[in-house]
Amino acid sequence: MLSSRFEAALGYATRLHATQQRKGTTIPMVAHLLAVAALALEHGADEDEAIAALLHDAAEDQGGAATLAQIRSRFGVRIADIVEGCSDTLVLPKPPWQERKESYLRHLRLASQSVLLVSACDKLHNARAILSDYRAVGESLWSRFNGGRRGTLWYYRAVLGAYVDAGFQSPLVEELERVVAELERLAGVQRAA
pTM of the model: 0.94
**Spatial distance between the Cα atoms of 92 and 69, rounded to a whole number of angstroms:** 15
pLDDT 10s digits, 140-172: 999 999 999 999 999 999 999 999 999 999 999
DSSP alpha helix (H) spans, the chain: 4-16, 29-42, 47-55, 58-61, 64-75, 77-85, 97-108, 113-137, 148-165, 171-187
Cα–Cα distance list, 192 to 67, 156, 178 (Å) = 42, 16, 16
pLDDT class of 193 with cuts at 50, 70, 90: low
pLDDT 10s digits, 48-80: 999 999 999 999 989 999 999 999 999 999 999
For the chain, give the percent of residues with pLDDT over 90: 87
Q: Which CATH superfamily is domain 4-187 in?
A: Hypothetical protein af1432 (1.10.3210.10)
